Every structure is written in C-alpha cells, then in structure tokens.
Copies of this chain bind each other. A is one copy, B any other.
Amino acid sequence: MDIQFTPEDIAFQKEVRAFLSENVTDEIRRGYTGGEVDPDIMVKWQKILHKKGWVAPNWPAEIGGTGWTITQKYIFENECADSGAPSVIPFGLKMVAPVIYTFGSDEQKKRFLPDILESNVWWCQGYSEPGAGSDLAALQTKAELDGDHYVVNGQKIWTTYAQDADWIFCLVRTSSEGKRQAGISFLLIDMKTPGVEVRKIDTIDNQHTLNEVFFDNVRVPVENRIGEENKGWTYAKVLLTHERTAIAGVAQSKKGLQKLKEFTAQEKVGAGVLADDPLLAAKIAKVEIDLMALEYTELRAIASVSAGGAPGPESSILKIRGTEIQQAVSELTIEACGHYAHILNDGEAIGNDMSWVASAKYLYGRASTIYGGSNEVQKNIIAKMVLGL
C-alpha cells in the first residue's frame, strides 16, 4: 500500500502546473462556467491541450494518448480542475473516440480520429429517446437498409450541445427480432445531412444545453456504421464502462468546494463573515468529508482497473455519490449566495460575484442524478450485480 507521489510524479505535477498557469487564462476559464459552453473558447483550449499532446490522456499512446500512469492522470485532472480550466467536451474525445479506436475499421479510424484529436469536429450523443430513458433498450429510432445507405427515422432527446455539433453518434434500431438489445446498431451521422433537425429544449436553468434531434428519412452511408449490424449495444456498453475516471467529477467538486469555502471566508455578514456560521460550516465540512471519501473510492477503482483487475464493487457507487456530492456543493453554494442566487442578472453581477453561475450550476445540476442512467437505475444495478438481490 502506497499513496505517496514519487519524485517523478512531483516533477510531472510541476510541469503540469507550469503549463496550466501559462495557458489557463481568464478567457479560457469562461469556456465553461456551469451550464452552457462557449464553443469557440473550448476549441481554442482543446487545441492548446492538443499541441501539448495532453488532450486525450486515455487514448492509447500510439494514436495520440499520453501513456501516463494512473497517478499522472490523477495529478493532471486535479491540477486542471484547480486551475479553473474547463473540462474537455467529452462526446468526441472521451465517448465516441474509444468506440472508434476499439471497434471501428481502419478506414473509420483514419477518417474520424484525427479531427477529434485536433478538435476540428464536434460530436454529440444520440442515445436517449422520449420513450427510452433509463430503459435505453426500448429505443425506437429506426435505420432501414436501402442500398448502401441506412434510412434513419425517429427522434433522440436530451442531446447535450447538439446545437454546436457537426456529428452525432447514435444507437438505432436495425432489427426488431429477438432480444431488444440484439437489434441495435451504432451509427455515425453527419448533422448536416438533410432531414436532421435540432430543436432546443427549454430547461429550468435558462441556458441552452439540451436538444431534441429529429431524423426524417436521413440517409446515412453504411460505411458510417461501427462494427457489425445489430451489435451496437455491445459497443455502447463497453463505452459506458470505458470512462470511469471522470464520472464522479471529484476534481470539479473539489474546486467548487474550494471556491465556496473562499467565498464564505470573505463574505461579510454583520460583524463577521459567513464562514462563522457553525451550521453552514458543518454542512460544508460534511460534503468535504464525503468528497474525500469519494476521491479514495475512485482511486481504489482506478487502481484495481489499472492493475488489470476488474473494477471492484466500490466503483459502482461513483456515479451515485459523485452526482449527489455535485448537487450538494451546488446547493450549499446557492445557500451561501443568499438572495443573489435568485436574480437572473443577464450577465451583470448583482450582490455578489458567485451567484449567477451558482444558480445555473445548481439548476442544470439537477440533471446529473437523472442522466447517464438515473441514480435509481444505478441502485437497481448494484442491488442485482453487487449484492446479488
């Protein structure tokens, strides 16, 4: 058992810090502050990361990854969060890319991966449908073969940043025979194809993050299918378990908590500061402790996976506790902001600086326990797969 950084790790940490302090400007920090992203800034930032070779730490080193140890990845993620750098948009780099480099043809790898690595092309994810949320296998969007094209009809929903995306990766139904999971294929669709329509969903956070995507006789070349027909569920599942490192959002929550603590230590109340309130201080401490626990739960999961083992039972709780902690941080932040969390200031700070970002984060953050398989579904899975109930 050993959790100490080696001298190499410490040198690496220094290098990361130097790089970040030089490159993470206030402008870059504005790339993502809560709900909406600024795509231009994000492209700029991801290109900076790419130039340094650090945009895809989890990819195999030979195709653009970093070859880092888990400790290095851990250090990198923490330093990034600490610097206020926005997380990279995951849909290309973290979600579709692993599917492509694991299951795609050489042709597909050559065609799609470089643009993802260079942030030239933006992706979004077409999984959920109105009737297929937590029960994803119920999806209905149809792709029917017509010559060397699929003709896609149907609707996706909750599509994050579809409005900025060039491509969408979709699960579509190519067969209605057998088990529901066995008739699903994995398609890559150019958003500019005729028949693709994006409609904004008005969400409670008053930002534009989510969309519906409609497919009306959209013709998709067969060569855009990943792997075999009707095997899409297998690829998607691998993807779902592929990216475990970021799911808990530990580094982001740590940063959020740090900001909150700084705010309460400065914000004057009467003759003292907000941090003097013992009940607020206790609530913040509780969340911090929870987060300290989750950080190690995540490290235990990463360590057991990277040692070649299967993820241990501890990994099952990352999504649940991670999102609950994110929500708790955002709830405490709006509580700390007082009245000013409730004013829609249209860009101008009123009362205090934290508040507008705080309420957008709080409101958008309610979705975190719903998406990616709701926390209820996660509990069902743990009950069945881990506890054998």
A residues near B (Cβ < 8 Å) are 278-279, 282
Contact = CB atoms under 8 A, between A and B. Distances in A.
5 contacts: A278-B278, A278-B279, A278-B282, A279-B279, A279-B282
A282 B277 CA distance: 12
Q: Give the top 5 A-B pairs by smallest Cβ distance, nearest first.
A: A278-B278, A279-B282, A278-B279, A279-B279, A278-B282
Nearest to A277: B278
A190 B136 CA distance: 62
Contacts of A278: 278-279, 282
A278 B282 CA distance: 10
A22 B282 CA distance: 46
Contacts of A282: 278-279
A331 to B, nearest CB: 17
A31 B279 CA distance: 40
A326 to B, nearest CB: 25
Contacts of A279: 278-279, 282
Nearest to A279: B282
A282 B279 CA distance: 8
A280 to B, nearest CB: 11
A282 to B, nearest CB: 6
A278 B279 CA distance: 7
A288 to B, nearest CB: 15
